[in-house]
Amino acid sequence: MSQVNVGLCGLGTVGTGVVKILQNHADEIKYKVGSELNIKKILVHDLNKARDVAISREWLTTDPDELVNNADIDIIIEVMGGIEDTNLLLEKAIRNKKHIVTANKDLMAVHGQKLLKLAKENQCDILYDASVAGGIPIIRSLTEGLASDKIQKIMGIVNGTTNYILTKMTDEELAFEPVLKEAQELGFAEADPTSDVDGLDAARKMVLLANLAFKMEIGLDDVEVSGIRTISQEDITFATSLGYTIKLIGIASIHNGKVEVSVEPTLLPKEHPLALVKNEFNAVYVYGEAVGETMFYGPGAGSLPTATAVVSDLMDVAKNIRLGITGNEYITPQYEKQLKEDNEKYMQYFLRMEVDDAAGTFQKITNVFTDENVSFAKILQLPSDKEKIAEIVMITHKISKQQLLNSRENLKGLDVVNEIISCYRVDGED
């Protein structure tokens, strides 16, 4: 096929980048694919909006059927966002034998498995590398470069907005709200940044990575998620004084066939490679049984970085069309989902408490932990501004989540503990 025709759904941040790359790199793309990639139609909301890219007016439409029912179009690129309506649009496109490239993690985390099966039934490709960590080819690395390995752990900073906020709160001691506003203005926060800040955006990305790594059908409900709203300047100060940096970390790991997926604020030793990832940058650490440790770093969002991943997927689909194949043989999950119980999840924890500054307090607290067989790596006590009150910060050795939950419950029953102010995971020391 000397020419492959594309329908582009969305001409916003990512869509504009896609058009620019197709135009600016046209010669290289044609050389590598062996076909020209032509945009036939672009679906938008507003036909009259000024566009930051050179396009032909007649490409624009507000009618999705002009793309999904268009016999001339081979591949649909979906970069408009949304879940339910977009899912229906893509289902229709696949039934009409269109291949799909999407950057939409929200859609793929919810409907991805069904869409992948539908695509397979219709001998279509559906590729979504841009949906996790923008310009970092992490999905491509799991499905191609590391395909021969057994992945055991993925640990990553996969949300740029929260990493930007935490970097500014740590390095410049800025407050949460103004930094969030800055992230929105810079264009990497979602339109509704709740999903960034509360960890849902990262959780959706971790679902996609975990499914690919462990070949199970893991859903969003299987992910333990907490965001960064609870992190205070005091938490950051305590963490820093103990030699840690706080990051929002997604973890997906497997042990004895059982999986754990979570997104939580996590303290990392300040020299840990993920602790050094600043601002809106993303990074993903992957541990494979054979390869050992690998690390991927780059821009997790933005017009051209994200569009790079979209267009690379587009090129793969175009090559597949030329070869008369699809790349989706291994879509069906290989294993039944098996999740770890709380007594099988092991981690270190940071606990910060407000306690009575009186004789016997420490003994009562340590008794609670001794009863649960919890021991400590670090302990710090500082006077509080309040009279006869102290703040204690403890870092446990590795304990199970169940031991943590039991200890917390029992601490609440102690008259000397006024409040457990914060409790975060600690990782990266083994």
Catalytic residues: 205
* Binding status of residue 196 toward ligand HSE by CB under 6 A: yes
* Binding status of residue 301 toward ligand HSE by CB under 6 A: yes
Place of tokens 């970092």: 136
Q: What DSSP state is assigned to residue 142?
A: I
* Buried-exposed string 270-287: b where 16+ CB fall within 10 A, e elsewhere: eebebbebebbbbbbbbb
Judged by beta carbon, residue 189 or residue 365, the one nearer ligand HSE is 189
Judged by beta carbon, residue 138 or residue 353, the one nearer ligand NAP is 138
Q: How far apart are the first and last CA of the chain?
A: 53
Measuring CA to CA, how many Å separate 409 from each of 57, 231, 275? 63, 21, 31
Total chain residues near ligand NAP (CB under 6 A) = 25
Q: What DSSP state is assigned to residue 223?
A: E
* Binding status of residue 5 toward ligand HSE by CB under 6 A: no
Judged by beta carbon, residue 189 or residue 317, the one nearer ligand HSE is 189
Q: Tell me, residue by residue from 306 to 335, as one string, x for binding to ligand NAP by CB under 6 A and - for no binding.
A: x-----------------------------
Minimum CB distance to ligand HSE, residue 250 (Å): 11
Q: Among candidates 302, 319, 301, 307, which has minimal Cα distance to 75? A: 319
Residue 360 gets the label, from left (phi > 0), alpha (psi -120 to 50) or beta, of left
* Binding status of residue 103 toward ligand NAP by CB under 6 A: yes
Q: Tell me, residue by residue from 127 to 156, as one string, x for binding to ligand HSE by CB under 6 A and - for no binding.
A: -------x----------------------
Q: Which does 249 bind (CB under 5 to 8 A by kind): ligand HSE, ligand NAP, none?
A: none
**Of the ranges 45-53, 189-197, 244-252, 346-354, which one interacts with ligand HSE (CB under 6 A)?**
189-197
Positive or negative torsion for Cα 111, 112, 113, 119: positive
Separation CA 170–CA 232 (nearest Å): 10
Among 112, 302, 327, 428, binds ligand NAP (CB under 6 A): 302
Judged by beta carbon, residue 103 or residue 126, the one nearer ligand NAP is 103
Minimum CB distance to ligand HSE, residue 197 (Å): 10
On whether 14 is known to bind a ligand per the annotation, the reply is yes
On whether 242 is known to bind a ligand per the annotation, the reply is no
DSSP for 38-75, written as a single string? EEEEEE-S-TTS--SS---GGGEES-THHHHT-TT--E
* Binding status of residue 106 toward ligand HSE by CB under 6 A: no
Which residues participate in the annotated binding site for NADPH?
Answer: 105
